[in-house]
Amino acid sequence: MDLKGRSFLTLKDFTAEEIEYLIDLAGELKRKKKQGILGTSLKGKNIALLFEKPSTRTRCAFTVGCVDEGAHPEYLGKDDLQLGHKESVEDTARVLGRMFDGIEFRGFKHETVEKLAKYSNVPVWNGLTDEYHPTQILADFLTMKEHFGYLKGLNFVYLGDGRNNMANSLMIGAAKLGINFSIIAPETLWPTGDLTELCKEYAKESGSNITITEDIEQVKGADVLYTDVWCSMGEEDKAAERIAILKPYQINKELMDKTDKDSTIFLHCLPAVKGNEVTEEVFESDKSLVFDEAENRMHTIKAVMVATLGE
């Protein structure tokens, strides 16, 4: 499948077949790495890593992915960038596009990563914006495929802040790949109606269901329970209010038992605030695959770079 020259900004831009291809390519690159076989697909390439927001997994995944495939990664933190301050995003994009072969951006406005893609003339990869986190979804789905052996038809339940970048991106990815997807959250934290309707259209095509509800009993039958921090970066002032309204949506042993399945797994994009969105007991249990999932960030990010830029 030819994805050369494409940017990776949101899963809305990719077909089910293309998303599955990236997941399978990541699995193949992971197997090779475990055997000590590294690639040369990005040899001679220079990659700019732009970070307005700090990161552990995203930065490390892009850096190791680049090096494994022969590229040079150049980290540019918020103090190294003039994005939209001294220099417009459009001008920064045109400068970086002449010096680098690919650009990763992790920051606030989704509009910034869209402008970088429009003006740089090189592939641009979204390492996270306020609206979407597509590389994380690939890692989540690779983890699920490794564990269950398939994706289509699985029952996936997301609990907590249902309108953040993770809930948005998981809903898009699940709907496209035929995974039954539920958000269980207080109504004030539901995703936008526009996005929900769009995902219901995707789900109609793939044969899956989208459910948005406040009812925690709806975890029954779930194969995957997923959560994220209750306050995203930049929302720390809302912590007390969020904890109060989201406490009933905490993933704990009692909630895991409500699925009525021994095979249910727990996933989290990390970092986790144990005691808030998930208990230590569940996080450290054998149902928790969060560290497989964290490792898979690197394999899936590598796959995205190889597919869109590699030789």
DSSP assigned state of 236: G
pLDDT above 90: percentage of residues in the chain: 94
Whole-Å CA distances, 113 to 10, 30, 109, 157:
10, 27, 7, 29
**Both 107 and 222 in a single domain?**
no
Residue 254's contacts (CB-CB under 8 Å, 6 or more residues apart) are: none
pLDDT band of 84, cuts 50, 70, 90: confident
**Both 172 and 257 in a single domain?**
yes
pLDDT at res. 234 = 72
pLDDT above 70: percentage of residues in the chain: 100
Tally the domains of the chain.
2
164-184: pLDDT as tens digits? 999 999 999 999 999 999 999
Residue 246 belongs to some domain of the structure: yes
pLDDT at res. 232 = 76
**What three-state secondary structure class fits 46?**
strand
Cβ-contact 48, 122 below 8 angstroms: no
Which residue is it, tokens 């197997």?
Answer: 31
297-311: pLDDT as tens digits? 999 999 999 999 999
Residue 4 belongs to some domain of the structure: no
State the binding site for L-ornithine. Answer: 165, 228, 232-233
Mean pLDDT, to the nearest integer, of 76-85?
86
Mean pLDDT, to the nearest integer, of 260-267?
98
Q: CA-to-CA distance for 20 and 141, rounded, in angstroms?
A: 9
Cβ-contact 200, 10 below 8 angstroms: no
Q: CA-to-CA distance for 1 and 249, rounded, in angstroms?
A: 40
Residue 5 belongs to some domain of the structure: no
Catalytic residues: 106, 133, 136, 228, 269, 297
Domain that residue 303 falls in: 11-133+294-309
pLDDT at res. 16 = 98
Strand partners, 180: 155
Residue 233 belongs to some domain of the structure: yes
**Both 286 and 178 in a single domain?**
yes
**Both 275 and 215 in a single domain?**
yes
- 83: pLDDT strictly greater than 90: no
The whole model's pTM is what? 0.97
pLDDT band of 150, cuts 50, 70, 90: very high
Residue 222 belongs to some domain of the structure: yes
Residue 81 belongs to some domain of the structure: yes
pLDDT at res. 82 = 76
**Both 231 and 156 in a single domain?**
yes
19-70: pLDDT as tens digits? 999 999 999 999 999 999 999 999 999 999 999 999 999 999 999 999 999 9
Mean pLDDT, to the nearest integer, of 193-209?
98
- 74: pLDDT strictly greater than 80: yes
264-299: pLDDT as tens digits? 999 999 999 999 999 999 999 999 999 999 999 999
- 121: pLDDT strictly greater than 90: yes
Q: CA-to-CA distance for 157 and 275, rounded, in angstroms?
A: 19
Residue 63 belongs to some domain of the structure: yes
**Both 157 and 182 in a single domain?**
yes
Strand partners, 104: 49, 125
pLDDT at res. 81 = 86
- 233: pLDDT strictly greater than 80: no
**Both 41 and 72 in a single domain?**
yes
CATH (domain of 172) = 3.40.50.1370
**Both 50 and 111 in a single domain?**
yes
DSSP letters for 245-297 = HHGGG-B-HHHHHTT--TT-EEEE-S---BTTTB-HHHHTSTTB-HHHHHHHH
State the binding site. Answer: 55-58, 82, 106, 133-136, 165, 228, 232-233, 269-270, 297
State the binding site for carbamoyl phosphate. Answer: 55-58, 82, 106, 133-136, 269-270, 297
pLDDT at res. 235 = 77
pLDDT at res. 132 = 98
**Both 35 and 126 in a single domain?**
yes
Relative orientation angle of helices 134-148 and 165-177, to the nearest 10 degrees = 50
**Both 103 and 150 in a single domain?**
no
**Both 210 and 73 in a single domain?**
no
**Both 15 and 120 in a single domain?**
yes
Report the length, in residues, of the chain.
311
Mean pLDDT, to the nearest integer, of 208-226?
98
Mean pLDDT, to the nearest integer, of 196-202?
98
Residue 221 belongs to some domain of the structure: yes
**What is the SS3 string spanning 166-232?**
HHHHHHHHHHHHCCEEEEECCHHHCCCHHHHHHHHHHHHHHCCCEEEECCHHHHCCCCEEEECCCCC
